[in-house]
Amino acid sequence: MRTLGVNSRLKPFGATIFAEMTALAVKHGAFNLGQGAPDFDGPEFVKEAAIKAIRDGRGQYARMTGLPELTKAIAERFEKTSGLSYEPERDIVVTCGATEAIVDCISSLIEIGDEVVMFEPFYDSYPAAVAMAGGAAKVVTLEAPEFRIDEAALRAAITPRSRVLMINSPHNPSGRILDDAERAIVARVATEFDLIVISDEVYEELWYETRHRTLVTEPGMRERTIVLGSLGKSFSFTGWKVGWAIAPAPLAAAVRSAHQFATFCAPTPLQVAAAAGLSAPESYFNEFRAEYRARRDRMVSGLRACGLRCDSPQGSYFALADHSEFGFADDYAFCRHLVEHGGVAAIPPGAFYLNKQKARTLVRFAFCKKDATIDGALERLAKYRNRFDSGEFAAAGTTNAASV
């Protein structure tokens, strides 16, 4: 009999850390700042649109490429924010979350053995999607604490097998937004080496002082870039799994060729609701950002008060802090200790690196949470800090340097 179980391409990925941390959060009754899922609901007008669509009998498969009203709304919103116009029927594909779009892009664009260049820390599905498609991930490290693109490092990662470059801005987990110089580097390198670029912009509406700008506006990028978006992020409905890809016709056709067999279509009533959401007036997006900015400030000042060094994120809903003051061996040790003894769940960013030692001193907190959750978690972190300072954990042999 054959060995049953996962194949060799996926085996190295194991189970995700999100499942472990969520289970530990439940076990220890912790405040969960781990997974990037809001603990509040998205806007009523979007929910009402979904409920109405269900009541109206819109329960059958949608058009494979996306409901016409949604592809139109995506194109209109993107034109508003970027100034670029795309043909909804031809250039847009609606998927089951941006995660499906990532898998569709990679599986439809690369040949077996092709290389996909990506930056670490990365959204953890990137290398898995490449492995599933029989490709090879080539990783360039964004060095903490700046997490800036280094042109020489990027160039060094490119070989004749490189076909795709993956970019993410606003960035999970660092919260950075690519600046003008970095976007220019990406454009220069991608055009010089004739790379297709997947620009993961799912946090496009979550920027604070620094405005997010799509990569597509850079010279030479429009014809080679696929932009990814997500209803989950922009409307706080991560469980609805509605995402999309925007691309020039030949690339959109490629994505569609995988999408038609992967899922065929995203849920129809949720696509109706997504169209309603994306057609919201600018005031919705401004309020959305203002609320998140307040959450960010609450989170960052609380983390700093507890002795965790933390740059204020420019975008996304993640705060990446440095826990080295606590003296743990690595990020996994700190997060496991914190959830058990401090009652706060966070994510060890090693999950977003191939070179896991680069993440040793880092910890990611999600602030897409109610004020009460953030405050509760910060209160517990402050107590944890006091107990740490009083030597309680050292006495128990659980902390300080490599003993953990």
Ligand X SMILES: Cc1ncc(COP(=O)(O)O)c(C=O)c1O
Binding of ligand X by 202 (CB under 6 A): yes
Tokens of 9: 């391409």
With CB under 6 A as the contact rule, the residue among 43, 121, 127, 243 that binds ligand X is 243
Residue corresponding to tokens 């008060």: 305
Using the rule CB under 6 A, give the single segment among 13-21, 91-99, 134-142, 342-350 that binds ligand X.
Answer: 91-99
User: Considering the complex, what minimum distance in angstroms separates the CB of residue 210 from ligand X?
Assistant: 17
With CB under 6 A as the contact rule, the residue among 38, 42, 66, 97 that binds ligand X is 97
Binding of ligand X by 36 (CB under 6 A): yes
SS3 of residue 254 by DSSP: helix
Strands 318-322 and 309-310: antiparallel
Using the rule CB under 6 A, give the single segment among 97-105, 268-276, 365-373, 396-404 that binds ligand X.
Answer: 97-105
- Closest to ligand X by CB, 91 or 104: 104
- Closest to ligand X by CB, 131 or 306: 131
Using the rule CB under 6 A, give the single segment among 19-27, 92-100, 245-253, 306-314 that binds ligand X.
Answer: 92-100
- Closest to ligand X by CB, 86 or 122: 122
User: Considering the complex, what minimum distance in angstroms separates the CB of residue 202 from ligand X?
Assistant: 4
CA distance 112 to 342: 46
CA distance 250 to 369: 40
Task: Tell me if 293 sits within 8 A of 337, measured CB to CB.
Answer: no
Task: Tell me if 301 sits within 8 A of 312, measured CB to CB.
Answer: no
For the chain, helix, strand, coil in percent to 5 are 50, 15, 35
With CB under 6 A as the contact rule, the residue among 22, 172, 225, 361 that binds ligand X is 172
- Closest to ligand X by CB, 123 or 334: 123
Tokens of 200: 């993961």
Binding of ligand X by 232 (CB under 6 A): yes
Task: Tell me if 121 sits within 8 A of 348, measured CB to CB.
Answer: no
Binding of ligand X by 238 (CB under 6 A): yes
- Closest to ligand X by CB, 232 or 302: 232
78 burial type by CB count under 10 A (0-12 exposed, 13-18 middle, 19+ buried): buried
Residues of span 316-375 touching ligand X by CB under 6 A: none
Binding of ligand X by 263 (CB under 6 A): no
CA distance 49 to 68: 16
Using the rule CB under 6 A, give the single segment among 107-115, 238-246, 253-261, 279-287 that binds ligand X.
Answer: 238-246
Using the rule CB under 6 A, give the single segment among 11-19, 94-102, 302-310, 339-347 that binds ligand X.
Answer: 94-102
Task: Tell me if 32 sits within 8 A of 342, measured CB to CB.
Answer: no
Tokens of 358: 């680069």
Residues of span 123-152 touching ligand X by CB under 6 A: 123
Query: Cα torsion for 252, 256, 259, 265, to the nearest 10°?
Result: 100
User: Considering the complex, what minimum distance in angstroms separates the CB of residue 164 from ligand X?
Assistant: 15
- Closest to ligand X by CB, 13 or 193: 13
With CB under 6 A as the contact rule, the residue among 22, 65, 82, 99 that binds ligand X is 99
Strands 362-366 and 344-345: unpaired
CA distance 30 to 339: 6
Residue 347, strand partner residues: 364
Residues in contact with ligand X by CB under 6 A are 36, 97-99, 123, 168, 172, 200, 202, 230, 232, 238, 241, 243
